[in-house]
Amino acid sequence: MIKAFDLSGRVAIVTGGAQGLGRAMAEGLAEAGAAIVIADINEEKAAATAAEFRQEGFAAEAFRVDVAQRSSVDRLMEYVVERHGRIDVVVNSAGLNRRYSMAEITEEDYDTIMDTNLKGTFNVCQAAGKAMLALGIPGSLINISSMSSLIINRRRPVGVYCSSKAGVNGLTKAFAAEWAPHGIRVNAIAPGYFLTPLNEEWMKTQQGTDALDQTPMGRFAQPSELGPTAVYLASDASSFMTGQVLVLDGGYTIW
């Protein structure tokens, strides 16, 4: 049964994989045996992360990508197919947020959020899926949504972010429905509050305290807790699962 989680011989692309949750999922996939392509807009950080992975004995390399630009995403897929001859797993972890109220957010900030979180997810899913179809390889696409795709966070000005992630859920189901007959599975993970470097300072504020108080498990998650879920969705262990959104939020959305 444990062999179902083995990713040996498979190639996985992780966008936004240079740091935070993306890095944690990339490391989980590497530990399961996959060769990893760390695809990130921050080329220097991606290269450093890939180098650290190689020092740990994992197969890893870096590639610069801007998921909001389709030509950049196409170059990524072309590179991986040319170098490895296959794409088995893609994790769409590239994303961002802007904290503005619905009344105050500018068109520019709205576009930035949607271009990266929603259009970026579409670009990567479509380009990766088309490559898998051309190669005749069944694969797994894993989109990173958010528990905020299911709710509007209380007393936090993140309505457009929530909307972008709700769109990710819709895209996940749409791609899953079309590509299921071809053996390409598309699922999403919806994380709650994770203790990443980008969140550490915010978690010390009153808003962070409020968020902790609203989490039934009474703690923030560690990034390493996300890796096993990515492995599950990437591997044969989830071979009959597609079009689903798995929520890892410590119970936040129960209430």
pLDDT tens for each residue of 101-126: 999 999 999 999 999 999 999 999 99
Structural domains in the chain, sorted by start: 2-248 (3.40.50.720)
**From CA 157, how far away is CA 252, in angstroms rounded?**
18
**From CA 91, how far away is CA 24, in angstroms rounded?**
11
In the chain, what are the helix, strand and coil shares in percent, each to the nearest 5?
Answer: 50, 15, 35
Residues 48-57 have a mean pLDDT of: 98
Over the stretch 147-197, which tens digit does the pLDDT of each residue have?
999 999 988 899 999 999 999 999 999 999 999 999 999 999 999 999 987
Are the C-beta atoms of 67 and 75 separated by less than 8 Å?
no
**From CA 155, how far away is CA 98, in angstroms rounded?**
15
CA angle 52, 54, 57 (to 5 degrees): 120
Q: What is the mean pLDDT of the chain?
A: 96
- What is the 8-class DSSP label of residue 48? H
Q: How confident is the model at residue 1 (pLDDT cuts 50, 70, 90)?
A: low
So what's the pLDDT on residue 155?
Answer: 82
Q: Is the pLDDT of residue 74 over 70?
A: yes
Q: From the candidates 79, 110, 161, 193, which is the catalytic residue?
A: 161
Its sign, for the CA torsion 102, 106, 112, 114, is: positive
Residues 10-38 have a mean pLDDT of: 98
Q: Is the pLDDT of residue 72 over 90?
A: yes
Looking at per-residue pLDDT, the higher value among 161 and 200 belongs to 161
Q: Which amino acid is at 98?
A: R
The model carries a pTM of 0.96
Tokens encoding 117: 């979180």
Tokens encoding 87: 């794409």
Are the C-beta atoms of 143 and 186 separated by less than 8 Å?
yes
Q: Is 161 a catalytic residue?
A: yes
So what's the pLDDT on residue 203?
Answer: 87
Over the stretch 229-249, which tens digit does the pLDDT of each residue have?
999 999 999 999 999 999 999
CA angle 207, 210, 216 (to 5 degrees): 140
Residues 210-226 have a mean pLDDT of: 95
| Closest to 121 measured CA to CA, from 158, 160, 92, 78 | 92
Looking at per-residue pLDDT, the higher value among 188 and 205 belongs to 188
Residues 219-229 have a mean pLDDT of: 96
Tokens encoding 164: 């972008």
Residues 32-54 have a mean pLDDT of: 98
Are the C-beta atoms of 186 and 176 separated by less than 8 Å?
yes
Q: Which amino acid is at 113?
A: I
Q: How confident is the model at residue 201 (pLDDT cuts 50, 70, 90)?
A: confident
| 200 contacts: CB under 8 Å, gap ≥ 6 | none
